[in-house]
């Protein structure tokens, strides 16, 4: 079953990336803002500034409502696909889920609020996206105001909002909106996907799950630490991805009566086999040298590099936990 789960996760990542494509946002904002400001030769009064702000905001509201509809549809589609997939994968492994549990699993997956990184509390899917859209609208309004007070031309204001052709329109607020919307949708879809896994695994009789991170140079510090760790339902903290924006990690079920080759696998065992430049890319040059030369094992490095919440520690904090690191860092 492990191989099926991992292969399925690879497929789901492609689906999520496809559904999280907001490439149309940049040209849509360019055309809408150009049309909204077509009647303004120059913003030279407060009244004109406020009128221009309203015209731009009204145009963005329409675009962002469409974007939010895409966001909600993407999250629901991923959740539904995951429930269907897990129903089949678990049944093939002799861990069939009661068909009556399907709707409950889907509802729980869609209800899961998202909290990542240093964000303030948990947020519902629709609130998280709406907040990002509101932030872009606010910045667009500030851009118009800044253009007025800075005596900038209408073209300067337009370019600040939707970017310049010389940069491929990658230097304006429109490009920021595209990146933010894609990041949020990927993260929310991951939350729905992994919550569907949680509910499906529980319904199948699993005792817990194993944290599964993508092992490459892009793996985050928190996911590096959690990779291969086994968690039992109801015993202490059960971290379920996403734990940060654009998190690519997932979980696989754990059954005490079935071997799971992922249990105990250490990301740093993989990293130890990589050349020094890759190790430095992942850890930074100083930590890369500590990893290679201080005499600690990959598993010891995993334990000493984070706190009990799997949050990364500073080099000084690591040195205070292990005298070999402190000794190596001495001048």
The tens digit of pLDDT for each residue in 157-212 reads: 999 999 999 999 999 999 999 999 999 999 999 999 999 999 999 999 999 999 99
- Helical H segments across the chain, by residue range: 2-19, 25-36, 46-92, 101-111, 125-149, 154-162, 173-203, 221-226, 267-272, 276-283, 285-293, 298-304, 315-321, 323-329
- 302: pLDDT strictly greater than 90: no
Question: Averaged over 253-275, what is the pLDDT?
Answer: 87
Cα–chain center distance at 242: 6
Segment 281-299, tens digit of pLDDT: 888 999 999 999 999 999 8
Sign, CA torsion 50/55/56/58: positive
- C-alpha radius of gyration, the chain, whole number: 24
- Predicted pLDDT at 118: 55
Contact by Cβ (8 Å): 200, 90: yes
User: CA 194 to CA 128: how far, in whole Å?
Assistant: 18
What ranges do the domains of the chain cover? 2-207, 266-329
- Predicted pLDDT at 120: 58
User: CA 329 to CA 121: how far, in whole Å?
Assistant: 37
Question: Averaged over 146-152, what is the pLDDT?
Answer: 94
Segment 175-186, tens digit of pLDDT: 999 999 999 999
User: CA 178 to CA 186: how far, in whole Å?
Assistant: 12
Please state, rounded to an integer, the average pLDDT across all residues of the chain: 91
- Predicted pLDDT at 308: 77
Contact by Cβ (8 Å): 192, 82: yes
Segment 218-245, tens digit of pLDDT: 888 889 889 999 999 999 888 999 999 9
Read off the tokens for 21.
């494509």
- 303: pLDDT strictly greater than 90: no
Read off the tokens for 34.
């150009």
Phi first, then psi, for residue 231 (nearest 5°) are -125, 135
- pTM, entire model: 0.84
- Predicted pLDDT at 40: 92
Q: CB count, 10 Å around CB of 251?
A: 24
- Least Cα distance to 42 among 172, 152, 163, 159 occurs for 152
Contact by Cβ (8 Å): 75, 125: yes
User: CA 89 to CA 104: how far, in whole Å?
Assistant: 18
- 267: pLDDT strictly greater than 70: yes
User: CA 52 to CA 35: how far, in whole Å?
Assistant: 11
- Predicted pLDDT at 222: 87
- 119: pLDDT strictly greater than 60: no
């Amino acid at each position: 079953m492990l191989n099926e789960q991992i292969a399925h996760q690879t497929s789901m990542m492609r689906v999520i990336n496809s559904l999280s494509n907001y490439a149309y946002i940049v040209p849509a904002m360019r055309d809408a803002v150009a049309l909204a400001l077509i009647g303004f030769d120059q913003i030279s009064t407060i009244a004109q500034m406020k009128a221009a702000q309203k015209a731009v905001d009204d145009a963005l509201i329409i675009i962002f409502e469409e974007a939010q509809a895409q966001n909600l549809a993407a999250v629901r589609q991923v959740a539904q696909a995951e429930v269907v997939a897990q129903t089949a994968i678990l049944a093939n492994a002799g861990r069939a889920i009661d068909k009556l549990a399907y709707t409950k699993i889907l509802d729980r997956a869609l209800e899961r609020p998202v909290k990542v990184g240093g964000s303030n509390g948990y947020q519902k899917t629709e609130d998280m996206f709406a907040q990002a859209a509101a932030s872009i609208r606010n910045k667009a309004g500030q851009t118009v105001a800044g253009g007025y007070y800075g005596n900038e031309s209408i073209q300067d204001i337009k370019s600040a909002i939707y970017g310049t052709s010389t940069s491929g329109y990658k230097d304006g607020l429109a490009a920021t909106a595209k990146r933010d919307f894609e990041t949020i949708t990927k993260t929310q879809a991951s939350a729905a996907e992994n919550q569907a896994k949680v509910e499906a695994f529980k319904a199948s009789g699993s005792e817990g799950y194993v944290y599964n991170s993508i092992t490459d140079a892009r793996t985050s510090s928190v996911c590096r630490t959690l990779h291969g760790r086994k968690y039992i339902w109801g015993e202490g903290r059960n971290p379920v991805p996403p734990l940060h924006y654009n998190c690519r990690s997932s979980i696989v079920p754990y059954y005490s009566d079935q071997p799971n080759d992922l249990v105990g696998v250490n990301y740093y065992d993989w990293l130890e086999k990589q050349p020094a430049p890759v190790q430095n890319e992942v850890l930074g040059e100083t930590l890369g040298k500590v990893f290679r030369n201080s005499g600690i094992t990959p598993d010891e490095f995993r334990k000493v590099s984070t706190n009990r919440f799997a949050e990364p520690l500073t080099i000084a904090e690591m040195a205070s936990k292990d005298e070999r690191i402190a000794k190596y860092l001495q001048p």
